[in-house]
Amino acid sequence: MGEAHLAHPNRELVCYAAPIRDPWGEVLAVLDATSFALAADPVVGAAIFATARAIEEALHAHGIARATGGGLVERLLGRLRDPAVLVSPSGWVTHANQGARATGRDLGPWSSSRVADVGRVRAPVQRALGVAVDELDAAARGQIRLPGLEVEAIEVDRRTGAWLVILVPPPRRCGRPSTEALQELVGSDPQIVAVRAHAAAVGRSSLPVLLRGESGTGKELVARGLHGVSPRAEGPFVPVNCAAIAPGLLHSELFGYAPGAFSGADPRGRDGLVAAAHGGTLFLDELGDMPRELQATLLRFLEDGCYRRVGEGEPRKADVRLVCATSVDLEEAVATGTFRQDLYYRVA
C-alpha cells in the first residue's frame, strides 16, 4: 500500500497478499508478505499469488482424492452402463468401471490436454483407445465423435482439470441378416463357390459350426451368412470377440452378473450376451483365446442350454445356435492343454 495506506504509521510499509480458498470457494487463509516500501519488489507479489494458486490447486486435488477414497467415484462409475474412466489432471486414468476394463484397451496415460479441447485431443484419444482417428467432429463442447466411437467428457473439477470420460462404443451388431448375406462372399473361384454352397447347406442346421482361417479371411461374414439362411434368421445375431475382452471379464460379459456380484458392478445386475442371443445366433470369434476355466462353463451351457449369472445361484436358460471361429490351430491347442478336447469335439 505504501503512501496510499489510510493509517499514517503504515505508509512506510508495503504488503502483497492473496486469499486461499477451499474447493467450495470459502476463504481459508490469506498469504501475506510485508516489508518496508523502500524494499518493495514486484517479484515478491508474483511469488505470493503463484504460491496461493498452488495451495488452492493442492486443496482441490485433495478434495477429489477424498471423494475417491470414500468410494464416491467408484459408485458413480459402477452405475454407468457405458464404459467410463476418471482422468486425472495429469492425464492418467485413475479409475475405470467394468465396461471400460472389458474393452481390453490400455487406459493410460492420457495426455494432460483437456479432453474437450478438440485441437489437442486427437493424439491422446488415439493413444489411450487404440483407434485410428481419421477425423474429429466436435458437435458440442465436451463431446468428440470418432469413427465407430464417441467420447463424452464431463468436467469433474474445473480448477484441477479432472474429467469423467464416458466411452460410448458402437452399438453391437445384432441385426437380422437375410439369405443375401451369402451373396456377399463374392467370387467365382471354385473354393469361394464351394464355401457358399457348403454354408447354405450347413446354415439350415441347428448344430454348432467352427470356422477356421487366418484373420481377415471373412469368417464373420460367413457366420452372418449361416445365420441368414437358418431358421433363426429373424432372431438376433450377436458377435463376441473373445480376444478383445479382458479374460477376467469375459465370463460376466457372456453370462451376465447378479446385483452386487462384484465391486463396481451395476447394482441392478446385467444380462450377458448369451441372453441377448436368445432365439438367434451367438458368434464366438477367436474361440482359441477363451480362458480354459471359461471353456468348462461354455461346455456345460452347450449340454443343456442352462447357465448361471456371476454371483447368482438360480439357473437360467437360453436357446442359441453357436457359431465359432478361430485363427488358432485348435488341434495343437488341445495337444498342449490350452484348449479342452471335449469342447473342441462339441463345437467342431
For 261-318, the pLDDT digits (tens) are 877 677 778 888 999 899 999 999 999 999 999 999 999 999 999 999 998 888 999 9
Nearest to 18 by CA among 40, 46, 42: 46
23 alpha-carbon distance from chain centroid: 30
What does the pLDDT look like over 108-118, one tens digit per residue?
Answer: 444 333 333 43
| Least trusted range by pLDDT, from 54-58, 131-135, 181-185, 267-271 | 131-135
Distance, CA of 134 to CA of 38 (rounded, Å): 61
Using CA atoms, how far apart are residues 4 and 12, in angstroms rounded to an integer? Answer: 10
Phi, psi of 344 (to 5 degrees): -60, -45
Domains in the chain, CATH or no CATH each: 2-69 (no CATH), 76-168 (3.30.450), 179-347 (3.40.50.300)
pLDDT of residue 45: 85
54 neighbors 42 (Cβ within 8 angstroms): no
Q: Are 267 and 79 in contact (CB under 8 A)?
A: yes
pLDDT for res 133: 36
Cβ(258)–Cβ(311) below 8 Å: yes
| Element of type H or E holding 348 | none
Rounded to whole angstroms, the Cα distance separating 208 from 118 reads 47
Buried b (16+ CB within 10 A) or exposed e, 89-101: bebebbbbbbbbb
pLDDT at 234: 86
Helices (H) and strands (E) in the chain, counts: 11, 14
**Helical H runs in the chain?**
42-69, 72-79, 98-102, 118-129, 190-202, 219-228, 247-255, 273-276, 292-304, 330-336, 341-347
